[in-house]
Amino acid sequence: MKNFLLFFSFVFLTFSSFGQLANQNNPKLKEKDRRIYKEQQITNYNAPESQVIIFQEDFNGSEGAFTINTITGPAPWKWTNSGHTGDYPTTALGSTTSGNGWMIVDSDADNFSGGPLEHTELISPVIDCSLYPDIVVSFEQMFRRYQSDTCLVMVSNDGGVTFPGKYYVNPSIDQTGTDNPDLKMVNISSEAGSQSQVVFKFVWYGAWDYGWQIDDVMLMEQPANDLELTGMALNMTGSGPGGFRDYYGKVPLTQVTDIEYGVGINNFGSQTQYNVTSTIDCQENGMSVYNDAVNHGTITSDSSFAAYHSNWYNPSAIGVYEASFAISADSTDEEPTNNSGMVLQEITDGEYNPFGSGDKLSQISGTFYTGGDDGFKLANLFEMEAADEITSVSVGLRTGTSTSTGNCYSCPGALIQVSVFDSAGVVGGNPGQTLLYSDFYTLTEADTTEGIAHIHIPQISPLTGVSQNRMLQPGGYYVAIETYSNAGNSPVTIYDDQTMPRGAWSSIIYIAGEQWYTNGDAFWIQANFGFEASIGNNDFVSEISLYPNPSKGQSTLNYDLSENGNVIINIHNIDGKIVKSIKEGYKTAGKHSKSLNLDKFKNGIYRYDIIVNDNISSGKIVLSK
């Protein structure tokens, strides 16, 4: 995808029922790049035959025609053929000519000790542009933002004495990062057009951030006619303060409201465009169910705008809806590949999931973070427009084996517990009252093979032993999973969809003993309403509860056997070692209780296994004396 530098950042973000946090800080943990990159997503910009390339550099083995000037800090521009080398690396740039190297500021590695502020420049030679009034700088990049990093293209027309042109390259990019590679084009005509002493430079400011990678730099004529679709919006109305909800890939029919469609359009060409029109066509099962066109009139060169279609649409049936967005004008576009896009949304019987197409696919696991091996929580915000009963939660697991660790991404034996929080009590990013809990669920080999686990939410709380109301009234709720990986030996890795923009607090994570952070976009955590998902845990034991939990040393374990069998109860410490084994012997089908004496154990988190005829059900014990 070609991305143009606009004079403002256009991003479609909706306001949710969680809008009270809009003005609060959005804390993020520094992290390794979590994106799962597909094969190279673009090739370098193919300039039309009429478009002259004035200068180009592919950094074959060195900085080439550029020079490096580092003003402050230990993180200079430098040549690389491997990418970032710090503890939180961004994926190596996959540019068109990455095989011969590229340029990088490796802030994470070179300023790891937290040294002075970083300021470094990569400066072009003097270039004669006197024959070309309309000029753009094109380059391929990879960038993720952490805290104070700034990326600039600055332009001089007096041979580098002064630099009046100042363009912010990645103002709207967050920790999710750009595509890899991301083709960026900057219009520098106002400073460089028809000038004979042009110099441009890539300027980095940072302070132990991730860094910036660039390659395949070109200075070329600006195309005459070039519109770009810079944004697509598909927002359902909502009862929250902003009146709209974040995008969800799956929405239950009971939660469907009117959909408002919108577009962002930029005229990157040097010529004014007339009769600029946006058209949206929505199809279900191959048939058009909504079609709307809006004429936006005239758009001058280097101008951008966002517009919503006033005609809304309300899906009335279960199905997959394919919304196609397209823009056009009277003139023939020289780069038509960026004039259209598509967004899918499924209306379901009861599945509610923010995860969408996964075009920009990421992953997340507690093992990615210090202190996250056990007790790591991930949560999605769900906005209820009508009351409905949540019966289970499904979790999308990354399968297979990591080439870097040799371990499975999601391993059998790991534990997951579901909880549901009321977002109305959120203060400073801390979820409010916990309304529902599931039993602890042990991932099975079938789960990790199929890539999905279904976790039942019982009507009896496994923590208190009393009834819990699964009916969620209209409002905002966090549905969270808490993962236990046996000290990192059995990780749980969840998919995260970074394709559609969402509010900062729409998906959050929690590190045990710390706080909630806004890392995450749209976790594959699906709330199921009105039906029971197929549950993969064993069917021999149900309605498990441990009370009290947390325990002061004495607790009662209750369980219900579906058939007769030999029962063993094992207690494991956080390292997975069995510290107590209770042989209950032969038990008949029905309800049973067992008093557990934990007085001799140290405070901490333990796991219990109820083993019935070689089938295991597990749970957590929090010991706090």
pLDDT for 382 beyond 60:
yes
Q: What are the φ/ψ torsions at residue 570 (nearest 5 degrees)?
A: -110, 140
Asked if 52-221 and 541-623 have one fold, the answer is: no
pLDDT for 613 beyond 60:
yes
pLDDT for 337 beyond 50:
yes
Q: Which residue has the tokens 């969680």?
A: 18
Pick the CATH number of 52-221 from 2.40.37.10, 2.40.50.100, 3.30.460.80, 2.60.120.200: 2.60.120.200
pLDDT for 16 beyond 50:
no
Q: pLDDT digit string (tens) for 36-55?
A: 544 433 334 444 445 789 99
pLDDT for 341 beyond 80:
yes
Contact 89, 33 (CB under 8 A): yes
Question: Residue 476: which residues within 8 A CB-CB, separation 6 or more?
Answer: 16, 17, 18, 240, 381, 382, 383, 384, 422, 423, 424
* 597-607: average pLDDT: 86
Which pLDDT belongs to residue 114?
64
Return the closest-CA partner of residue 604 out of 620, 580, 618, 619.
Answer: 620
pLDDT for 485 beyond 80:
yes
Q: Which residue has the tokens 């309309």?
A: 134
pLDDT for 395 beyond 70:
yes
* 561-575: average pLDDT: 87
Least confident of 106-120, 160-174, 385-399, 464-478: 106-120
Tell me which fold the domain 541-623 belongs to. Answer: Immunoglobulin-like (2.60.40)
HEC string of 451-513 equals CEEEEECCCECCCCCCECCCEECCEEEEEEEEEECCCCCCCCEEEEECCCCCCCCCEEEECCC
d(CA 452, CA 469): 26
Contact 18, 423 (CB under 8 A): yes
Compute the CA torsion angle 458, 463, 467, 470 (nearest 10 deg).
Answer: -50
Q: How much of the chain exceeds pLDDT 70, in percent? A: 88
Which pLDDT belongs to residue 539?
63
What does the domain layout of the chain look like in residue ranges? 52-221, 227-349, 361-529, 541-623
pLDDT for 511 beyond 50:
yes
Contact 127, 198 (CB under 8 A): yes
Least confident of 125-139, 282-296, 374-388, 562-576: 562-576
* 149-170: average pLDDT: 95
pLDDT for 378 beyond 50:
yes
Q: pTM for the whole thing?
A: 0.74
Least confident of 254-268, 283-297, 430-444, 580-594: 430-444
Question: Average per-residue pLDDT in the chain?
Answer: 86
Q: What are the φ/ψ torsions at residue 75 (nearest 5 degrees)?
A: -120, 85
Q: What are the φ/ψ torsions at residue 595 (nearest 5 degrees)?
A: -80, 130
548 alpha-carbon distance from chain centroid? 37
Helix (H, G, I), strand (E, B) or coil at 416: strand
Pick the CATH number of 227-349 from 2.40.50.100, 3.30.310.50, 2.60.40.10, 3.40.140.10: 2.60.40.10
Q: pLDDT digit string (tens) for 60-98?
A: 999 999 999 999 988 999 999 998 888 877 889 999 999
Return the closest-CA partner of residue 396 out of 496, 509, 265, 506.
Answer: 496
* 256-272: average pLDDT: 94
Q: pLDDT digit string (tens) for 221-236?
A: 999 999 999 999 998 9
pLDDT for 445 beyond 60:
yes
Residue 357 exposure: Cα atoms within 13 Å on the Cβ side: 14
* 110-114: average pLDDT: 71
Contact 545, 521 (CB under 8 A): no
Tell me which fold the domain 361-529 belongs to. Answer: Jelly Rolls (2.60.120)
Least confident of 40-44, 105-109, 253-257: 40-44
Q: pLDDT digit string (tens) for 122-148?
A: 999 999 999 999 999 999 999 988 877
d(CA 218, CA 157): 17
Which pLDDT belongs to residue 77?
97
Q: How much of the chain exceeds pLDDT 90, in percent? A: 58
Least confident of 31-35, 71-75, 459-463: 31-35
**Omega within 30 of 0 (cis) for the link into 181:** yes
Q: What are the φ/ψ torsions at residue 540 (nearest 5 degrees)?
A: -80, -30
* 8-21: average pLDDT: 34
d(CA 549, CA 544): 12
Least confident of 112-121, 258-267, 377-386, 590-599: 112-121
Q: pLDDT digit string (tens) for 350-367?
A: 999 999 988 888 889 998
Which pLDDT belongs to residue 534?
46
Which pLDDT belongs to residue 335?
86
CA dihedral for 409, 411, 414, 419, sign (positive or negative): positive
Return the closest-CA partner of residue 33 out of 180, 147, 215, 176.
Answer: 176
pLDDT for 15 beyond 60:
no
Which pLDDT belongs to residue 36?
57
Q: pLDDT digit string (tens) for 179-195?
A: 889 899 999 999 999 99
d(CA 46, CA 586): 74
Least confident of 409-413, 465-469, 604-608: 604-608
d(CA 201, CA 173): 20
